[in-house]
Amino acid sequence: MSNLNALHELTIKLYDHLTLPLPTNDDDRDQYIEKVDRYLERRELRLSSLHQVERNKKTMIVAKEIMDMNNKIDMKLQEVRSVIGRDLHRVRAQKQINDQYEGTTPSQQPMTSYYFDQKN
């Protein structure tokens, strides 16, 4: 199998995986992201090992399909990134609200002081 065909297959697998919805469960989400990362690493290795390819009609068609899917993959990765970013923002906001409620942040620490009243 040529490197171009292997790259094409990896691109298809990555695209198919990215078309799946992002899981809401933390463990499933971690596995989803790890799988995307593995596909990206494997594609990077294939791309770096890809040297001059014989230019014929078949390789040009495969290369065009890879480029088209690459654009779609970039869009899907941006969507996943924005979903994760929104989730992080929501978690940070919730943490800040919880900290304010509990008074655990340094600026919200309850002041402990004593007042001694002198009685004669």
Q: Which of 14, 86, 89, 64 is nearest to 44 (CA)?
A: 14
- The residue count of the chain comes to 120
In the 8-state DSSP scheme, what is residue 108? G
Cβ atoms 14, 36 nearer than 8 A: yes
Q: What is the dihedral of CA 42, 43, 46, 52, to 10 degrees?
A: -170
Sign of CA dihedral 93, 99, 102, 105: negative
Helix H or strand E encompassing 9: helix 3-19
Q: Per residue in 77-119, pLDDT tens?
A: 999 999 989 989 998 998 888 877 776 555 555 566 666 677 7
Phi and psi at residue 108, in whole multiples of 5°?
A: -105, 10
Q: Per residue in 47-72, pLDDT tens?
A: 888 777 777 888 889 889 999 999 99
Looking at per-residue pLDDT, the higher value among 20 and 111 belongs to 20
Cβ atoms 66, 7 nearer than 8 A: yes
Tell me the two tokens of residue 68. 């088209």
Q: Read off the pTM.
A: 0.71
